[in-house]
């Protein structure tokens, strides 16, 4: 260990204790090194999903300019995405009407999530471009992730496992039914 806490070198830096907790995720380098987005145009999953039935595409709700769909790789149960139908990559490329509907669908998804799951909070956001971590960088999508005070534990870190207590199809059905009921 170096006696002067203001001096760091590559041999001791990783072992110097500080107030930060670090989660090392080297598997994310696969996304970083993947380069150009393979999910473009006709092969884009967010362009294909609306052509499917709601059940097969895991669509919760279809709006005029955007739709709500279950995330195939959810961070938590009830994790949905709001996507415009139009293949547009960035928020500032979307029309005013698309943005307005994405916002309205996000608000409704939050209300329905609280009604169905009684979650205590949300993570809501968009990753814009591959460099920001977007898995499908070519098609704009907003994440809505329900959160509970008890939803974090050691499994993702130690066992590389996320406990998902319900199947996507069950969650989709529950959300879709609640969405339809609130529109009546």
**Domain spans of the chain, in order of start:** 13-183
- Which residues, 6 or more positions from 140, have their beta carbon under 8 angstroms from its beta carbon? 83, 84, 88, 89, 90, 91, 93, 94, 102, 126
SS3 50: helix
Q: Which two tokens stand for residue 59?
A: 């669509």
Q: Which among 13-17, 30-34, 101-105 has the top mean pLDDT?
A: 101-105
Q: Any alpha helices (H) in 68-167, and if so which ranges? A: 96-117
pLDDT, residue 42, reads 55
The CATH number fitting domain 13-183, selected from 3.40.50.720, 3.30.465.10, 3.30.428.10, 3.40.50.970: 3.30.428.10
pLDDT, residue 31, reads 45
pLDDT, residue 120, reads 94
Position with higher pLDDT, 150 vs 32: 150
pLDDT, residue 5, reads 55
Which residues carry out catalysis?
141
- Which residues, 6 or more positions from 9, have their beta carbon under 8 angstroms from its beta carbon? 2
Q: Which two tokens stand for residue 119?
A: 């979650």
How would residue 41 be classed by pLDDT, with cut points 50, 70 and 90?
Answer: very low
pLDDT in tens, 45-61: 999 999 999 999 999 99
User: Scanning the structure block, which residue is given the tokens 């998804």?
Assistant: 109
pLDDT, residue 3, reads 57
R_g of the chain, CA atoms, integer Å: 20
**What residues are paired with 68 via a beta bridge?**
61, 82
Four-residue CA torsion sign, 22, 23, 24, 25: negative
Rounded alpha-carbon distances, angstroms, from residue 128 to 59, 113, 135, 162: 22, 24, 10, 25
Residue 12 is given by DSSP the state T
Q: What is the mean pLDDT of residues 58-84?
A: 94
Q: Could you give the angle at the alpha carbon of 13 between the alpha carbons of 10 and 16, nearest 5°?
A: 160
SS3 70: strand
Return d(Cα 110, Cα 146) in angstroms, integer. Answer: 8
């Amino acid at each position: 260990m170096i006696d002067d806490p203001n001096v760091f070198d590559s041999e001791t830096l990783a072992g110097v204790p500080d107030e930060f907790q670090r989660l090392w995720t080297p598997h994310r380098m696969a996304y970083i090194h993947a380069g150009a987005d393979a999910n473009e145009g006709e092969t884009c999953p967010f362009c294909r999903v609306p052509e499917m039935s709601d059940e097969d595409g895991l669509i919760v709700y279809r709006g005029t300019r955007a739709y709500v769909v279950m995330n195939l790789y959810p961070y938590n149960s009830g994790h949905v995405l709001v996507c415009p139908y139009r293949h547009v990559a960035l928020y500032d490329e979307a029309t005013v009407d698309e943005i307005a509907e994405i916002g309205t669908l996000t608000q409704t998804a939050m209300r329905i999530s609280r009604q169905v799951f009684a979650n205590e909070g949300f993570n809501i956001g968009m990753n814009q471009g591959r460099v920001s971590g977007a898995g499908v960088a070519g098609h704009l999508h907003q994440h809505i992730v329900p959160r509970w005070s008890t939803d974090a534990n050691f499994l993702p870190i130690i066992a590389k496992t996320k406990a998902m207590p319900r199947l996507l199809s069950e969650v989709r059905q529950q959300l879709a039914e609640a969405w339809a009921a609130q529109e009546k």
